[in-house]
Amino acid sequence: MATCFTAVLAMPVLLIMASLLQPFSTTWQHLNDTLLTEYVFNTTLLVFGVGIGSLGLGVSSAWLSALCEFPGRRLLSWALLLPMAMPAYIIAYTYSGILDSFGILQITIRSFFGWDYGDYYFPQIRSLGGAICMLSLVLYPYVYLLARVAFAGQSLTTLESSRNLGRGPWNSFLFVSLPLARPAIVAGLSLAMMETLADYGTVSYFGVNTFTTGIFRTWHGLGELLTAAQLCAFLLLFVFALMLVERESRNKLRYYQNFAHKNKSIRLKKWHAVGAVTLLSFPIIMGFILPATQLAVWAINYWRNTQKAEFFDLLMNSIILAGVASVLCLIFALFLSYIKRRFGGQRELVQTEIVKLGYAVPGTVVAVGVMLPAGWLDQKVNELSVLWIDDSLGLLFSGTLGILLFAYLARFLSISLQAIESGMSTIKPKLDESALSLGASPSHLITRIHLPLLRPSLFTALLLVFVEVLKELPITLILRPFNFNTLAIRTYELASEEQLMDAALPALSIVAIGLVPVLLITRIIIQDKN
């Protein structure tokens, strides 16, 4: 049963890769002659640009907060994770409202100096560079989180030995601390890059042609589902390349620290402390405080113009959809975790690893991979219904909540599975053996022993999947039923129509709910160990 379930979840990715075996259409030739090179070029620049931005912000913040002592360090170490609650497409909409030609900043500049539009130079926010900046501001916490743990685990005696051998602070950081933390840094960097590949809302709103925008345009604009699937297959090649890089980084380098020496912080004084506070405050202000404040101002000012009934319908749709998806992911993750723990063979290990690949696959790819079999089934069912009852049954699979929930399950089951496996690892196997030897059935073992002990892990799994589904855009945009909107979809629609102020309330709601898992993560992971 577990094998069949795993095969079904892996089906979207397998169908996407199988599309490369199909003959390429004239539409593909057209794309190859016109836009494909631009897709590859922009996607590559976007990924590496966000990688550099996330690396700079994440590594510097991690090193200062982990190994240095200065006023406000504890608060800043926690606050540096706040941008994780801000979806990339929401921060893109917000900064467009601030920095665009008709944004607050440029209007103020023109009124103060008496200039007209075109009399001065101002960088275009809606550009490839703007997309890189927006994504870097919300994705650097992936690097920061893992790098901070790595830096905090380094023994200060190693750094002191480097200093005694003649290396200054900067050289010690470059040639000692940084290489020791390289596996963790590369792992966080790979996550940030994969999130960049999966982004649609930001690049679409900024008008940057990437693989994700090309997939949407090919499908919705040209009606070529097969060609869209083939584009998804090439996007997957980027993802698999990043996964290989991340795996190699983990396999090559090992560092075993000496816990006999307590790690002491480097105390910063006067201007060094001021510089550290300034540097750490920058990504917090730009990545969370400023956009959240602007959203709050817009939401308050336009609350009277908001259709309250529509907003609460969107809120309920989003909560119900996210709630059902998180419960489904929890149930299946618990089932797979128990199967792996109970039998622990090579087959069970492979099954769980295949399921975990879902989160590494962009939402656009998952949606197209789900739509391929759903569209085929609808076609066959309607052909049979015309023959039997002389009438078409319409869409029974495509455009339904069931197929949307299946796509969420394929995409986010990995989050629940990792959380529950982490909790399962703390339960001694002898406890299971004792319960089974005393006559307990597998169902009693799960309900009476595992579930009470796994309560924190279950809560974490539910919460994280809930928030991920709440802010998910590409899957919902492609697979949602007709006339079914969520907070994310409505935010995207209003922003696309340049109604940024009207989009503030649903966007702020997503950010507010997204703060909950961030607070949970910071309570569990970000701790001072001095």
Q: Is the pLDDT of residue 5 over 80?
A: no
pLDDT digits (tens, 9 = 90+) for 328-338: 999 988 888 88
How far is Cα 110 from Cα 117, in angstroms, rounded to an integer? 7
pLDDT cut 90: percent of the chain above it:
27
Whether residue 351 sits in one domain with residue 324: yes
State residue 259's pLDDT score.
43
> Would 367 be classed as within a structural domain?
yes
Give pLDDT, residue 172. Answer: 67
Residues 68 and 138 in one domain: yes
Does a structural domain hold residue 516? no
- Total Cβ atoms within 10 A of residue 259: 9
pLDDT at 50: 96
> pLDDT digit string (tens) for 172-227?
666 677 777 787 788 888 888 888 988 999 999 999 999 999 998 888 777 788 88
DSSP 425-460: TTS-HHHHHHHHHTT--HHHHIIIIIHHHTHHHHHH
d(C-alpha 213, C-alpha 192), whole Å? 19
- What total of structural domains would you count in the chain? 2
Helix H or strand E encompassing 100: none
Any idea which residue has 């492979």 for tokens?
350
Asked if residue 529 is part of any domain, the answer here is no
> Is 395 in the same domain as 486?
yes
| pLDDT at residue 92, rounded to an integer | 93
Domain that holds residue 362: 1-34+307-501
The structure's pTM equals 0.86
Q: Which of 244, 274, 300 is the last residue of a domain?
A: 300
Q: Does the pLDDT value for residue 513 go beyond 70?
A: yes
Decide which of 280, 300, 320 is a domain's last residue: 300
pLDDT at 55 over 90: yes
- Domain presence at residue 523: no
For residues 451 and 340, membership in a common domain is answered with yes
Same domain, 54 and 154: yes
3-class DSSP state of 382? helix
Average pLDDT across the chain, whole number: 83
Contact 183, 253 (CB under 8 A): yes
Task: Identify whether residues 194 and 324 lie together within a single domain.
Answer: no
Using one digit for the tens of pLDDT, what is the confidence trace for 124-173? 999 999 999 999 999 999 899 888 877 877 666 666 666 666 666 666 66
More confident residue, 338 or 263: 338
Q: Which range has the top average pLDDT, 4-18, 190-204, 254-268, 374-388?
A: 190-204
CATH number of the domain bearing residue 424: 1.10.3720.10
The contacts of residue 29 (CB under 8 Å, 6+ apart) are none
Q: Is residue 524 part of a domain?
A: no
Residues 23 and 64 placed together within one structural domain of the fold: no
Among 282, 300, 318, give the residue marking a domain's end: 300
Whether residues 189 and 318 share a domain: the answer is: no
User: Is residue 522 domain-resident?
Assistant: no
Say whether both 258 and 276 belong to one domain: yes
How confident is the model over 439-465, as a mean pLDDT?
A: 79
- Determine the Cα–Cα distance for residues 230 and 253; give it in Å rounded to an integer: 36
pLDDT, mean of residues 445-463: 79
| 104 phi and psi angles, rounded to 5 deg | -60, -45
In a domain, 231, yes or no: yes
Judge if 239 and 355 occupy the same domain: no
Q: Judge if 16 and 66 occupy the same domain.
A: no
Within this chain, do residues 24 and 106 fall inside the same structural domain, yes or no?
Answer: no
Residue 54 has pLDDT above 90, yes or no: yes
Average pLDDT over residues 369-382: 85
Q: Band the pLDDT of 530: cuts 50, 70, 90.
A: very low
Within a domain: 463? yes
